[in-house]
Structure 1
């Protein structure tokens, strides 16, 4: 008798649910008519705010080539990068260094001995220059960071870390500090773990407060390295200026990055 009663109750519940489903109206959306921002919807709101203040990550993702010049003690250093493959050419008066997508190489000029670390320097200045957009790469983890206060103003922070196996130094961490009102990036804190095991808590500081608009994107005109103490910047140490900046949706020919005859492959 109890079994029959339970079966009857179950049937009544099922019928009630079926009736409700049949009478429920679901709004149909024609997504072909919607203007969706698929790219930025994958990012947290705070980093999207920063991207937007610099022209937008969607605009950046259309770009294929970045080039800039820096004045160094041995002359002008010109860096050209394929933003999609990350092929790179660094051309200076005393050497060229390049990455063709598979091989890293160095070519010395006029008998000058190359004494740098090509593996460490590969992509380094491009990475600093392409802030904040470069932290829109795949394999990045975003977290809130403790705010930075400098000269009486407080900047919210976004901690950037990497999934295992991403890049040459996946233990590197960055903190992007931005103006809460405008969203514009103001500071970068970063660690250096190249050639070391594990993460570091020794954050160094770069100030970003000199911007220029190129092809719809707000990019650095110069950046300032700061001395620091107890994870806080103190006074300016030096400035690096960028000239002849070019960012475009055109691609340079692959031959630009090809290893020249006589160059040395860096393992």
Structure 2
């Protein structure tokens, strides 16, 4: 092949490659259109936004959470115990400092024969767990949420939502909660609520309360409120006087043994 012909062929090939590259470059912008939304572009509900603030996925990646906690009302210690709960809340146990204990497995509650306040065993089994794990249980089965509204509480404006439950949900489906979350951090500062265990809905609504969460500490990157205050509360006047408090002295995530929540022999089902 002559030198001139070789040069012509090389020029032709370069021209074809150049043209192809230009055509590919023209098509590139269409290929860059993302198919999957980024986290920032996800359309999260108000409760999902709160769950994200509390790192729910990270929380559930752990097996269980263990807290050493003291709860007082009216100046008297109501409960002083180590509490261990599976992060999915299906099993738990409360080991009181006096040596007595309460276990729950799903809907069943058991307590040791020496438990002093046996009448409150079911209440204790589920209530403190619910208040601790509340930010990660907002979308449990049976939950019904109102639309978000702005509400004033303790001289601050919050995002407010009312939580009710479908019939036959848990031990107390007639309970309701009103959540006050910070619009900037999406953390929950207060929750108003009624407790219908062992009382009628009418009686419970005549005596509503609120819990305030504070002193958030990061446990493995997850915010956990280490101080709680319990208040009288009303829809018209908001927070009333403080009636109780709780302090988490320590909190950590733990890996439990397969038999950690097995009900000990001699325990009484409540």
Q: What TM-score results when the alignment is normalised by the length of structure 2?
A: 0.73
1:132-191 Cα offsets, whole Å, 9 max, x none, are 222232221121365442342221201112222221111111111011222221111111
Give the total of aligned pairs: 230
Following TM superposition, by how much is the alpha carbon of 1:114 offset from its aligned partner in structure 2, in angstroms? 4.0
Following TM superposition, by how much is the alpha carbon of 1:122 offset from its aligned partner in structure 2, in angstroms? 1.6
Q: How far apart are the structure 1 equivalents of 2:79 and 2:63?
A: 27
Q: How far apart are the structure 1 equivalents of 2:95 and 2:229?
A: 23
Whether the 8 Å CA contact 2:209–2:233 is kept in 1: the answer is yes
Q: Which has the larger radius of gyration?
A: 2
Aligned to 1:211: 216
Aligned to 1:236: 242
1:16-63 Cα offsets, whole Å, 9 max, x none, are xxxxxxxxxxx99999x74777xx86x62x223322333x33223323
Whether the 8 Å CA contact 1:176–1:185 is kept in 2: the answer is yes
- Write the mapping of 1:42-191 to structure 2, written as runs, cut at 5 A: 44=45, 46-54=46-54, 56-71=55-70, 73=77, 76-84=80-88, 86-92=90-96, 93-101=98-106, 103-109=108-114, 113-144=116-147, 147-191=150-194
* Superposition RMSD in Å: 3.0
Following TM superposition, by how much is the alpha carbon of 1:90 offset from its aligned partner in structure 2, in angstroms? 0.7
Provide the secondary structure at the position in 1 that maps to 2:111.
Answer: strand
Provide the secondary structure at the position in 1 that maps to 2:230.
Answer: strand
Q: How far apart are the structure 2 equivalents of 1:196 and 1:236?
A: 22
Whether the 8 Å CA contact 2:151–2:158 is kept in 1: the answer is yes
Q: How far apart are the structure 2 equivalents of 1:192 and 1:231?
A: 19
Aligned to 1:257: 261
Q: What TM-score results when the alignment is normalised by the length of structure 1?
A: 0.73
Cα distance, 1:186–1:65 mapped onto 2, change above 3 Å: same
Gaps of 5+ in 1: 1-26
Gaps of 5+ in 2: 1-29, 72-76
